[in-house]
Amino acid sequence: MPRSLHQRRFTLLELLLVMVVIGITAGLLAPRLTGSIAGQRLQAQARTVISLSRKARALAAGEGRAYELVIDREGKQLRLTCRRDPLAEADDPDDPEREAVREESEWSRPIAFAEDVTLSDLLLAGEAPAEDSGLLPAIRFRPDGTADDAELEFTLSGKDTVRVVIDPHLGQARVLEEEVPQ
């Protein structure tokens, strides 16, 4: 039975050759894809800091009192806390701020760092915070829209880094882009 031109089939050798080419291509691209996924975790951490900063700034402006972004380097987590209203009486029994911040409060829930991400550098007002004070470092966001000057550098597995800077005048956080030498 003669084959027609419309019934052309691939040989086993051709199929094996295509499989080898696909395997080599996948082997060359896999490290790049893995690095891309790891880099996404680092960028996600930066976006988390920026989001929490925006939330703290909005809550501070809306409620007229300072909020803080507390950084727990050892526990590898971030959380928002509110400062006590300075105009409220300390012994007022109806003061809602007498209760401690509860874990179930959605805005005060601790948020863990992304997997394999560590806080490698923290500067508050240009200086590293004192570790022996017993208090966790915090970035304060004030009702007038200003914030503490701060820089946070996150590192992924000791290699890649991303730096988040909080502008003290605007109270806004942004990722500091690395300058590429030319």
Please name the amino acid found at residue 86: P
Report the side by side order of strands in the sheet with 160-166.
117-124, 150-156, 160-166, 173-176
Give CA torsion, residues 83, 84, 86, 87, to 10 deg.
130
Residue of higher predicted confidence among 84 and 124: 124
Residue of higher predicted confidence among 35 and 125: 125
- Give the mean pLDDT of the chain: 80
Of 41, 7, 26, 20, which Cα lies nearest the Cα of 112? 41
Q: Residue 126: left (phi > 0), alpha (psi -120 to 50), or beta?
A: left
Q: Is 34 exposed, middle or buried (0-12, 13-18, 19+ CB in 10 A)?
A: exposed
Of 120, 104, 110, which Cα lies nearest the Cα of 155? 120
With bands split at pLDDT 50, 70 and 90, how would you rate the model's confidence at 1? low
144-173 average pLDDT score: 89
Cα gap 144→168, rounded to integer Å: 11
Q: What are 10-49's pLDDT values in tens digits?
A: 888 888 999 999 998 888 877 666 566 777 888 888 899 9
pLDDT, residue 99, reads 47
- Among 79-83, 133-137, 171-175, the minimum mean pLDDT is found in 133-137
118-147 average pLDDT score: 84
pLDDT at 54 over 90: yes
- Is the torsion defined by CA of 130, 167, 172, 155 positive or negative? negative
| Superfamily of structural domain 36-83+102-182 | minor pseudopilin epsh domain (3.55.40.10)
Cβ neighbours of residue 43 closer than 8 Å, sequence gap 6 or more: 162, 175
